[in-house]
Chain A
Amino acid sequence: MGSRRSAAGYLFFAPALIVFLLVGLYPILYQIYLSFTDWYLLRSLTPVWYGLDGYKRLLADTVLWESFLRTIIWTVGTVALEFVIGLLFALLLNRRSRINAILSGLILLPWVAPSIVVAYTWRWLLDGQYGALHQVLYQFGLVGERSLLVDPSLALLAVTAVSAWKGAPFMTIALLATLKSIPEELYEAAAVDGANLWNQFRFITFPLLIPVSVVMSLILGVLAFYSFDLVWIMTKGGPTDATLLLGVYLFRQFFERNELSYAATIGVAMLLLLLAFSSVYLGLLRKRQTA
């Protein structure tokens, strides 16, 4: 009886497994295979075994390492801004009012808007000739005549801020849900003990937000690390590589330079980096929870 039920279970599970193998596992395995080959589309229509040479090339590629450093800044910056914005909005929306009920829906707009729309909108807002936001910044003397996106020293900051603007609602909703689950009694007890608002936030709210913040940061961090579309539309990795992230670099290698295998090698390296980081990150979280 038990084995029959078990067989039926596997049978029900099989379609999902097959789909996963085909669309999840196969591309990853194929990418790993490609990373050990040399497939330069200007020389060959098929991959040629290359061993570890692709990885040696990767280690010696200075543009890649610069992109990696930029991607770390972009990822950490995006997540940090998303957390700050998300926390502020979540605290604001946690108060019960009619406006907040409407705002809770509206605040999701940047998150649900397609990246292409967000990117074009912000590109025009920051345009030196037509951009409304640029004009405001210009009037306050915060920028010169040219757009932030043309300035190599500020372009990364600008696209990071846009990325955070898009991702912050997701953080807001997660933090808001957690805030609403904190029992009111905790705050009442703290008030009886003489805790002011700051101390209530510091000793009750913030510690209880940490677990969800950690998980959300990991999810949003992974999304930011792999990001491509927003930067590609806004700057194409420029000006002068100032916003060249790993995702953009990988795209260029594949579609512009026809370096199919090298693009795969970069992809595998990104995957391994994220796996290692996620494992350490979640391991530390687990350790903290059990301590």
Chain B
Amino acid sequence: MKFRLFSSLFVLVLLAFALSSCASVPAQAPAEQPGAETTDEGVPASVVFWQFFTDPPIIAAYENAIQEFETLHPDIDVQMEIVPWAEQQQKLTTALTTGALPDVSMLGNNVVAQYQAIGALESLSPYFEQWSEEAGEDITADFWPGDRYYYLLEDEWWGSPMNVETRALWYRADLFAEAGIEEPPNTWADLRDVAIQLTTDDVYGIGVPGAIDYPTLQVFTNVYLGYGARFLNDDGMCGFDTPEFREALQYYTDLYLVDGVTPPDTPNYSREQLVQMLSEGKLAMYIDGPWIYGTLAEANPEWLPDLKVALIPEGPAGRYGFLGGWPLVLWKGSDNPDAAWEWIKFATDPEQGLPDIAAPANLPPGRQSIADQWLEAYEEPLRSEFNFFLEGLQYAQPYQYPDPEIPEMASLEVDAVQTAVQSVMLGQSVDDAVTQLCERINDTLSR
């Protein structure tokens, strides 16, 4: 009996040891030299590509592009797999730890630094240099100014821009006219005054997000950058413990706490609820990207022709917008890096796949040279309104501007800043919120 118990325990321990040993095998294969192909001759090189959109028009655009690409490159087989945006972070984390990464994927611009820092991405610099040589010009000069902070890390490029996006101020011209307001607000101070004037029993002057969700930081970034606040100080630690940031946080939260110009559930509201309120005519102003027009057009409210767009207001330190977007990246460990690069090049080339792939997302393409082409696809008066988004891209910067993206940003942006905004909206003092925020940021940066 004792022997049986002992042998069972022994087998169990052995099993645990074996499994643990298996787990400690590096998740990634060693990096291959650029240019090395491992595919047998005659067999198309397979490129697994993770695409994050589920909208049928975008999927169709990619399918068409892949078909076109494979006609040009019969030796490459691109296999597109749909990984919804909402799940991509979990899927990538899981794939990283199990070694099941694709060859190429889209990637939120905010996480490129994170994956670059741990050596999971292949540098695109050698490929960009070759591309520039072929084109006879520096292709990276065509990228939007703010994208350099996301993709140029340690003097090398890690992503090829696909789409960019920034926010603008959507406003109801009919409500402005009723209130006798002639122009959209040009400064944050003006916006506050206008929002107070526009707030009635039925309509809130503006809807700002306060939930622990990306839109909160994406809208608040416009404010704190405009007030001259910086995410990081000169020592690379939390830069928010400044009068500029306190003023910005006070301003943003006072819209809810003091002025009451944003809905009562603002601390729990994100894009989903605010767009619904806008579509039902309950908001006079709202800050978001161009994609919401589709939802509003579908709802088709009678005031839709009166819906206008204006630039993000400027603060004491100038006009700044949030810069979003995504590139295509090449994952290290790809069996066919050159084939994978050919697909990235085709898909992000303004003269090949990029115009058709980027357009259905209703967002500007990642290259400035075809921005006008993107705009011309829209009819007036939408074209004139959407031009504000292109203009806004000149002011659009990442959260941590003027510093390059840091690996920890994705983790900090999720709950640190958003928690501070929500906490103040729910009664915490600005000073306490800033102290906690910086503790959290510094704690993560020191890890």
The reply to whether B265 and A33 form a contact with Cβ atoms under 8 Å apart is: no
Chain A contacts with B in 15-48, Cβ cutoff 8 A: 21, 25-26, 29-30, 32-34, 40-47
> With A42-B118, A255-B89, A255-B93 as given contacts, are A150 and B20 in contact (CB-CB < 8 Å)?
no
| A257 vs B407: C-alpha distance when bound (angstroms) | 11
The reply to whether A145 and B24 form a contact with Cβ atoms under 8 Å apart is: no
Question: Measured between C-beta atoms, what is the minimum distance from B147 to chain A in Å?
Answer: 22
Seed contacts A42-B117, A42-B447, A47-B24; 9 additional CB < 8 Å A-B pairs: A33-B23, A34-B23, A129-B263, A150-B264, A150-B268, A150-B426, A237-B212, A252-B414, A260-B93
Taking Cβ atoms with an 8 Å cutoff, the residues of B that contact A are 15-16, 19-20, 23-24, 26-28, 89-90, 93, 96-97, 114, 117-120, 211-213, 263-265, 267-268, 273, 276-277, 282, 407-408, 410-411, 414-415, 419, 422-423, 426-428, 444, 447
Which of A30, A129, A239 is in CB contact (< 8 Å) with B267?
A239
Specify which chain B residues have a CB less than 8 angstroms from the CB of A239 in the assembled complex.
267-268, 422, 426
Interface residues as binary, A118-131 with B (CB distance below 8 Å gives 1, 0 otherwise): 00000000011110
The reply to whether B96 and A41 form a contact with Cβ atoms under 8 Å apart is: yes
The reply to whether A45 and B415 form a contact with Cβ atoms under 8 Å apart is: no
Question: Measured between C-beta atoms, what is the minimum distance from A290 to chain B in Å?
Answer: 26
| A130 vs B273: C-alpha distance when bound (angstroms) | 10
Specify which chain B residues have a CB less than 8 angstroms from the CB of A32 in the assembled complex.
16
Which of B23, B89, B428 is in CB contact (< 8 Å) with A240?
B428
Which of A34, A240, A255 is in CB contact (< 8 Å) with B423?
A240
The reply to whether B28 and A45 form a contact with Cβ atoms under 8 Å apart is: yes
Is A256 close to B, CB under 8 A?
Answer: yes
The reply to whether B422 and A149 form a contact with Cβ atoms under 8 Å apart is: no
The reply to whether B118 and A43 form a contact with Cβ atoms under 8 Å apart is: yes
Is A178 close to B, CB under 8 A?
Answer: no
Question: Measured between C-beta atoms, what is the minimum distance from A123 to chain B in Å?
Answer: 9
| A239 vs B268: C-alpha distance when bound (angstroms) | 7
Which of A41, A43, A47, A128 is in CB contact (< 8 Å) with B23?
A47
The reply to whether A254 and B93 form a contact with Cβ atoms under 8 Å apart is: yes
Question: Measured between C-beta atoms, what is the minimum distance from A216 to chain B in Å?
Answer: 32
Taking Cβ atoms with an 8 Å cutoff, the residues of A that contact B are 21, 25-26, 29-30, 32-34, 40-47, 127-130, 144-147, 149-150, 152, 235-241, 252, 254-258, 260
> With A127-B273, A260-B97 as given contacts, are A238 and B422 in contact (CB-CB < 8 Å)?
yes
Interface of chain A, helix or strand or loop or mixed?
Answer: loop
> With A129-B265, A239-B422 as given contacts, are A42 and B120 in contact (CB-CB < 8 Å)?
no
Which of A25, A46, A236, A260 is in CB contact (< 8 Å) with B24?
A46
The reply to whether A252 and B415 form a contact with Cβ atoms under 8 Å apart is: yes
Task: Provide 12 A-B residue pairs closer than 8 Å at the C-beta atoms, listed in order of the A residue.
Answer: A30-B23, A42-B114, A43-B117, A43-B118, A45-B26, A46-B24, A129-B265, A144-B264, A147-B264, A150-B264, A254-B93, A258-B93
| A238 vs B423: C-alpha distance when bound (angstroms) | 10
> With A45-B26, A152-B426, A238-B268 as given contacts, are A258 and B273 in contact (CB-CB < 8 Å)?
no
> With A41-B93, A236-B213 as given contacts, are A127 and B118 in contact (CB-CB < 8 Å)?
no
Question: Measured between C-beta atoms, what is the minimum distance from B402 to chain A in Å?
Answer: 22
Specify which chain A residues have a CB less than 8 angstroms from the CB of B415 in the assembled complex.
252, 256
The reply to whether B273 and A129 form a contact with Cβ atoms under 8 Å apart is: yes
| A238 vs B216: C-alpha distance when bound (angstroms) | 14
The reply to whether B26 and A258 form a contact with Cβ atoms under 8 Å apart is: no
Specify which chain B residues have a CB less than 8 angstroms from the CB of A30 in the assembled complex.
19-20, 23
The reply to whether B265 and A256 form a contact with Cβ atoms under 8 Å apart is: no
Question: Measured between C-beta atoms, what is the minimum distance from A179 to chain B in Å?
Answer: 41
| A27 vs B114: C-alpha distance when bound (angstroms) | 26
Specify which chain A residues have a CB less than 8 angstroms from the CB of B26 in the assembled complex.
45-46
| A115 vs B139: C-alpha distance when bound (angstroms) | 49
Specify which chain A residues have a CB less than 8 angstroms from the CB of B120 in the assembled complex.
45
| 4 pairs of A and B residues whose beta carbons are closest in the complex | A128-B265, A146-B264, A145-B264, A33-B20
Specify which chain B residues have a CB less than 8 angstroms from the CB of A254 in the assembled complex.
93
> With A45-B96, A45-B119 as given contacts, are A127 and B23 in contact (CB-CB < 8 Å)?
no
Which of B212, B273, B411 is in CB contact (< 8 Å) with A42?
B411
| A96 vs B204: C-alpha distance when bound (angstroms) | 54
Question: Measured between C-beta atoms, what is the minimum distance from A165 to chain B in Å?
Answer: 20
Question: Measured between C-beta atoms, what is the minimum distance from A28 to chain B in Å?
Answer: 10
Question: Measured between C-beta atoms, what is the minimum distance from A196 to chain B in Å?
Answer: 49
Question: Measured between C-beta atoms, what is the minimum distance from B145 to chain A in Å?
Answer: 27
> With A236-B213, A257-B444 as given contacts, are A127 and B423 in contact (CB-CB < 8 Å)?
no
The reply to whether B267 and A150 form a contact with Cβ atoms under 8 Å apart is: yes
Specify which chain B residues have a CB less than 8 angstroms from the CB of A26 in the assembled complex.
19
| A195 vs B97: C-alpha distance when bound (angstroms) | 66
Which of B119, B211, B265, B407 is in CB contact (< 8 Å) with A127?
B265
Specify which chain B residues have a CB less than 8 angstroms from the CB of A33 in the assembled complex.
16, 19-20, 23
Question: Measured between C-beta atoms, what is the minimum distance from A247 to chain B in Å?
Answer: 15
Specify which chain A residues have a CB less than 8 angstroms from the CB of B268 in the assembled complex.
147, 149-150, 235, 238-239
Question: Measured between C-beta atoms, what is the minimum distance from A282 to chain B in Å?
Answer: 23
Specify which chain A residues have a CB less than 8 angstroms from the CB of B93 in the assembled complex.
41, 254-255, 258, 260
Question: Measured between C-beta atoms, what is the minimum distance from A185 to chain B in Å?
Answer: 47
Specify which chain A residues have a CB less than 8 angstroms from the CB of B20 in the assembled complex.
29-30, 33
